[in-house]
Amino acid sequence: MILIKVMVFKDVPIIRIGSLLKFGGTQEGPANLVPFKTILPYLLGEMGLLIGAINLLGNIVLLIPVGFLVPFVIRNMTWKKTLAVAVAAGFVIEGMQVVLHLGIFDIDDVILNAIGVMIGYWVFAILTNWVRSGKYKTIIITAIIVIATAVAAVYAIYPKDHQPMNSLRGAENGQSDRFDNEQRKISQDVDPCNGTGGTGQIVSVGNNTITIKGGNGISQIIKLTDMTKFRTSMGPASKSDLKTGDGVTVVIDGSETATLVLICNAAIK
């Protein structure tokens, strides 16, 4: 039920990176039936390493508990039976999104979900062997490493050391220069692109499209819709904030339609 709540209905707080709110909500567009069509761009860092990691690992990690818990319910589970459950789980999740009009079908999500289930099964199998062999010290050390890694990851994604911009709104008369400097400093700290400069630079802006040039010198036309969201370091933005020369990180679906456009180091107005 929790898995359906998170992966199908997207009923979770928007994921925050640094002190910027980013991912969440539903997606629209045509189905992707080509394996690795969306996975490869993330692996190659075309959307930014951080964004790629979240999209790939998110679809894997959330399914690990399924692979770990199923052997407790179904006895004599083998990796072949688990693989069947893994593929079925991915198709059920993607199918529910389509039927309920909450997302698009992506075969790559099925692949990532299946990998998560299989990892959970392998963890179960390894842990079972350790328990039978009495390797309790190994279990404890591994648990400590996993917990420490998880805590470090959560701390990296949800840092607590950024001062809210609203706290500067009370600047008194005669302190405008100090206010502007502080605001610029905070703006840099919450750079939507995390100091990467973005996945590309805008070379032209159309009515419902933008053309961006990546680091490899290749230009790409990205479609914009009413569902496309825009953000700068100052918060939510709009299509009118897009300017030629801006560095941007763009999250797109299989039809090269932007679901999110992050404007890097946007100037403070």
Mean pLDDT for the stretch of residues 91-113? 88
> Where does residue 31 fall: left (phi above 0), alpha (psi -120 to 50 degrees), or beta otherwise?
beta
Residues 227-245 have pLDDT tens digits of 888 888 778 888 888 989 8
Cβ contact 194:159 at 8 Å: no
Residues 114-133 have pLDDT tens digits of 999 999 999 999 999 999 99
Under 8 Å CB-to-CB from 25, ≥6 apart: which residues?
Answer: 10, 14, 229, 259
Q: Is the pLDDT of residue 176 over 80?
A: no
Cβ contact 54:251 at 8 Å: no
What ranges do the domains of the chain cover?
2-157, 193-263
Q: Rounded to whole angstroms, how far apart are CA atoms 90 and 107?
A: 9
Q: Rounded to whole angstroms, how far apart are CA atoms 248 and 262?
A: 5
Cβ contact 212:201 at 8 Å: yes
Please give the mean pLDDT across all residues of the chain: 77
pLDDT band at 207 (very low <50, low <70, confident <90, very high): confident
Q: Which CATH class is domain 193-263?
A: mainly beta
Q: What is the pLDDT of residue 83?
A: 95
Q: What is the pLDDT of residue 180?
A: 47
Q: Tell which wins on pLDDT, 59 or 189.
A: 59
